[in-house]
Amino acid sequence: MSANTNPDPEQGALAFIPLEANPELMTNLIHKLGVSSALAIHDVYSLTDPDMLSFIPRPALALLLVFPVSAIYESHRMAEDNTVDEYTGTGEQQPVIWWKQTIRNACGMMGLLHAVSNGPARNLIEKGTVLDELVKKSIPLSPRERSSLLEKTPKIAAAHKEAASVGDTAAPDAQDDVDLHYVCFVKGSDGALWELDGRRKGPIKRGELEESEDMLSERALSLGILKFLEREGGDLRFSAVALAGSLD
């Protein structure tokens, strides 16, 4: 692909060890960065079976999809991105906060960052932590300035490296080409469903939700992750995890 269509960070860019989609590992990472212990990451074993979904605490504040980047996905991404300009939104008035991914193999961290920094989850970031400082400093910046700030926050990189090095499978090298990618779905401050992916040109509004609907509600799933998977032609090589817990 040409430089105009390839959204990935270039060779030589700062790189992270790819993050395993392991709920325990991810939960430890977000707690280390400053998210309250009231929230945790949970495996989503089914997107359609109510009994399986009932095991996950509600509300589900974010949903992370992990999937292989296919030719079908890339074709759809490019067609959709070609219809919009690069997002430049800043400030508290924006319904979501979004970071452009400029670190190779950091899509897992970007997914978690988008999950915990948007919607009600943001209120459960503990004051004075590295994540609290990053979010506060990032809100008034442009997405690319936010990414530069993220690159210059060594505590984030150190926590990520520690987490990515202790997964159930052998960790690949930070510079390896990895075809698995993370996309995050959250409910914005406007009540809408948003798809957040640092490889895209900006946050993508996927539809409206009722006040009572969370990320595992039937409407959110149909507008977001199920439509995403339907477009992939039934490819089953994916997994999903949810950010959930008590808001009290």
Active site residues: 107, 181
CB 203 within 8 A of CB 84: no
CB 228 within 8 A of CB 183: yes
Distance separating alpha carbons of residues 66 and 71, to the nearest angstrom: 16
For CA atoms 65, 66, 71, 74, the dihedral sign is positive
Distance separating alpha carbons of residues 161 and 36, to the nearest angstrom: 21
Distance separating alpha carbons of residues 186 and 82, to the nearest angstrom: 23
Q: Which residues of 177-206 are buried (b: 16+ CB within 10 A; e: fewer)?
A: ebebbbbbbbbbbeebbbbbbbbbbbbbeb
Q: First and final CA of the chain: distance in angstroms?
A: 48
CB 85 within 8 A of CB 201: yes
User: For the CA atoms of the chain, what is the radius of gyration?
Assistant: 17
Distance separating alpha carbons of residues 132 and 76, to the nearest angstrom: 35
* Residues facing 205 on adjacent strands: 194
Q: Among 53, 55, 156, 31, which residue's Cα sits nearest to residue 106?
A: 156
